[in-house]
Amino acid sequence: MPPELIDSHCHFDFEAFDEDREDIWSRCRSAGVRQLLIPGTEPEQWARAQGLCEAMPDWYFAAGIHPWWQYKVRGKEWLDACRRALSHSHCLAVGECGLDKFIDTPMAEQEALLEQHLQLAYEQRLPIVLHCVKAHNELIRWLKRYPLERGGVIHAFSGSVDIAETYWQMGFRLGVGGTITYERAKKTREAVSRIPAEALLLETDAPDMPLCGRQGERNSPEYLPDVARGLAELRGVTIEEIAAITTANAQLLFGFQH
Ligand SMILES: [Zn+2]
């Protein structure tokens, strides 16, 4: 029996999986992937994620606005619909939301939307799923202003040991994905091998973030064991140990049902 794993960040609702979602899920189960979290991207998508999670008891979702879809919302109109989505029994977190320096949306607008998400996570006492591209300093500043009881995760973490430590000390975990399978990702590989294992979650971010050797292909949650194996090698432990601790971490953070 393969060890049990949780994919803490998988866009399994995306069109890329419409043709063969159920086949993939059955391969996931044989590979030990037992549960997954579908992050929120924008208001229309929350209902789609919710529908999928109602049909599949092992899938959960989060509700929030990804910076790439920020153009779809104005002001604070989205908040009430988001509160409704968050009240669903399969909705475990606020997000994904965050800051991304590679897109055209001005930082001030991104930060205003992030602040609304932080207030929401605080008010709803939920963990938050954060997307951060080249904006760790700004994000850390915001997280210090809004300490969250349940913390959250910096998904697809990429950065130094120092930055990883800073997040962990503030109560945020780090999502480890396909990046660590690339040798050139030296800084991130070092960070995830030195930070306490209690800080780490596994994720694929599928259909994005293909693993080394699968560049240009659709990424899939069925490859999560390869991420676990990569992390185990970097830390010099067994895949069983990585599976046990990261699964426990995901359950602790999000409250996945056993
Ligand atoms: Zn994502």
220 CA distance to ligand 1 middle (Å): 13
Digit-coded pLDDT (tens) for 160-183: 999 999 999 999 999 999 999 999
Report CA(10)–ligand 1 centroid distance (Å).
7
* DSSP type of residue 214: -
Looking at the whole model, is its pTM more than 0.95? Answer: yes
pLDDT over 90 (residue 21): yes
What is the 70 CA–ligand 1 centroid distance (Å)?
14
Determine the Cα–Cα distance for residues 173 and 161; give it in Å rounded to an integer. Answer: 13
pLDDT of residue 74: 86
Q: Which domain holds residue 139?
A: 5-254
Helix or strand or coil: residue 126? Answer: coil
Which helix (H) or strand (E) covers residue 175, if one does? strand 172-176
Beta bridge partners of 174: 154, 200
> Looking at the predicted structure, is the pLDDT value of residue 258 above 90?
no
* Cα-based distances in Å from 102 to 136, 140, 197, 257: 13, 18, 30, 36
pLDDT in tens, 77-126: 899 999 999 999 999 999 999 999 999 999 999 999 999 999 999 999 99
Å from CA of 155 to ligand 1 middle: 7
CA of 209 from ligand 1 middle (Å) equals 9
Going from the Cα of 26 to the center of ligand 1, the distance in angstroms, rounded, reads 22
Average pLDDT of the chain, as a whole number: 96
- The pLDDT of residue 1: 83
69 alpha carbon to ligand 1 midpoint, in Å?
12
pLDDT digits (tens, 9 = 90+) for 137-159: 999 999 999 999 999 999 999 99
249 Cα to the center of ligand 1, angstroms = 19
Q: Are 81 and 51 in contact (CB under 8 A)?
A: no
Q: At what angle do helices 136-145 and 107-124 cross, to 10 degrees?
A: 40
Q: What are phi and psi of 81, to 5 degrees?
A: -60, -35
For residue 178, report the distance from its CA to the centre of ligand 1, in Å: 13
Q: Give 130's strand partners.
A: 97, 154
Q: What CATH number corresponds to the domain at position 229? A: 3.20.20.140
Are 126 and 94 a contacting pair, CB within 8 Å? yes
Going from the Cα of 154 to the center of ligand 1, the distance in angstroms, rounded, reads 10
Distance 205 CA to ligand 1 centre (A): 5
Distance in Å, CA 244 to ligand 1 centroid? 23
C-alpha of residue 72 to centroid of ligand 1, in Å: 17
Q: What's the domain count of the chain?
A: 1
